[in-house]
Structure 1
Amino acid sequence: MRRRTLLAAPLAATAASLAARVPAAAAVGPRIRGADISFTLQHEAIGTTYRDGGSAAPVERILAGRGANYVRLRVWTAPPAGYSDLADALTLARRAHQAGLRVLLNLHYADFWADPGKQPVPAAWAGQDLNTLAATVRAYTRDAVAAFERQGTPVAMVQVGNEITGGMLFPLGEVYRDDGEHWSEFATLLRAGIEGVYAGQGGNRPLVMVHIDRGGDNAGSRYFFDHVLAQGVSFDVIGLSYYPFWHGDIAALRANLDDLSTRYRKDLVVVETSYPWTLANGDSLGNFVTSAGQLPDGGAYPATPAGQAAYFERLREVLAAVPGGRGAGFFAWEPEWLPGVGWAPGEGNPNDNLTMFDWSGNALPSLAAFRAGP
């Protein structure tokens, strides 16, 4: 999730290996049920309190109590003070492990926000040629993964890049340029990141996810993964962002997941999704979703607490129906990001009506989606 500019369009893990990274009880529901909670420390710093059934608890404890088994933690290389850096992710990983949650590490390879329209090279890496930049990516990834190992909280899965639909580390790793498409350079950097994951691992190899933003776009998804695989890139899990107010009706997501499962025989995770529980705005910055006309499926899921819960129930159903049992699960994006913490210093929050807690920090019905059972 971010301010968007959309672009034009060694060993694969089996479903059994993915299932080994989640509790056995999860087999009756999505194997992965998680949330990105990267703004948590910033909210706690301003005194935000989260409650479920009237009882206050850290957000990761509330999620675990509702059946979640993963958190996703974002890492920027040199963000503004207080935003998601490696030290913050390590702190949240300790808490997640104490709550019985596994960690998906989301490496942006950028000082701050990276998304399909912008993948800026960190300032400290500027001016490097392709081979040098690949070596930097490899070493950075190795050291990040190893840091979680050293503190006794090994990551279960790693995202090598964030929504890398058009490449990563622009301009060297940018696919779509004025003179054509540059898949080889992008693949060089992507492979370097994957090699870094393996170099930093401990006793258990983390799964590697490649993440794009085309949850409702089957042609765009095929185009990307056909080209990446043609470059010899080996990875385990396909990650997709699916925001129905941007990416279309749920039928488009289902068609895409079904086709990708059959075509690539890899596990699929909807690694970013959210849905409004209100059309009101909790701060002075305009929200991403402001009208019922932006909602999918002819308004089948209204912007109410009950409508939000119904959306997540439908998402669970879609994942359960993916051929081969490869609809592995989902991550809600920043369900705890309430008004009071901006997307950048001095800014507001365009996501504050897409949370799974109301603006007083009380749990909404949609948290039921994290349950292990049917």
Structure 2
Amino acid sequence: MNTFDYIIIGGGIVGVSTAWQLQKRFPQKKIAIIEKESEFACHQTGHNSGVIHAGVYYQPGSLKAKFCKEGVQATIEFCKEHQIHYEQCGKLLVATTPLEHERMLSLYARCAENGIEAELLDQAQLKQREPNISGIGAIFVKQTGIVNYQQVTIKMAERFQQLGGTVLLNHEVVDLVENDDGIHVVALHNGQQVPLESDFLVACSGLMADRTTKMLGIKTDFQIIPFRGEYYQLPAKHNHIVNHLIYPIPDPDLPFLGVHLTRMIDGSVTVGPNAVQGWKREGYGKINISFKDIVDMMGFSGFWRVLKNNFKVGLIETFNSWWKPGYLKTVQKYCPSLTLNDLQPYPAGIRAQAVMKDGSMVHDFLFAQSPRSLHVCNAPSPAATSALPIGAYICDKITKAQS
């Protein structure tokens, strides 16, 4: 039987960052990453827009704000050290109406509260920077950048293995049992059950975070509700349609940021994401249904409450998902030259949104613990940007839990 000092469930960027930093802190310890897929970063990490966020939106003093500010520089330094291509192209948050302009000024004040360097642009300055973008003003955030987070994750995994860490790909955790001596793990590999033992378990299981806690009987008040983020890609002729990342001014009453134009690190430009109720936790296709996932949601009171609280916007998002001209209209608000033919297929992503029983969405990091385990229950955007400080924070919590 394979016995480890620490087992980390999850091969996304948060899990791999944690494992690598834990191995650096404790070089004599036996540490393993368990990942059910055949490679790293197959889910949220590999299906996001690749933005290195500066932390404009986040509540001052929150873990999100703290981690994001630390994470920008840490991510860039990591990329420099390991020759991973990144670019700090900057971001413009564009106001298109007087109401959005008022909200923009509030966001500008929040930048100052979070210690983020930002510049206010008037309509003429915006047009000078972005000839193809229409708006009455904007916030320019210079720090924001782009990178391929799957490449970052793979490099972290390589560093982890170089330090003696063990990687178990194609291993799906199907059972967990905790006792006074540690955690007994059963993983399914090539149809065979593989027993593993660990003194301590760290679960960074993203879309399956609530199911991992349930395996150990940890009482929690949340459930993961999947939201699909659907993207389009612009044709190559539009690869230079923008010079920066272009974001709308978000509505503070809505849980997600809205559709934006993103320059990707490969030179292309994507449009999105929207936020549509998902009916399958790992449903990346156009039509995705999972009976098990639906039953879990239907039986959770928080799902019905969040549906009720966001019913109108949910209908609009669903309508725009199925009716392309509706989706296009959200983009034409600030980029009027785009047409239907410009919106070409691109893979969707799934946001693992933790929702409480009262229907409130968890917008900060959420953790659960047992005597011998620590679970990352909610790792919201910008978790990829913040993966290095999050990993360090988790290592600190593990050390404290074992002291």
TM class by shorter chain equals under 0.3
More strand, by proportion: 2
Per the normalisation by structure 2, the TM-score is 0.26
Per the normalisation by structure 1, the TM-score is 0.27
**Larger of the two Rg values belongs to structure:** 2
Highest relative contact order (Cα 8 Å, sep 6+), 1 or 2?
2
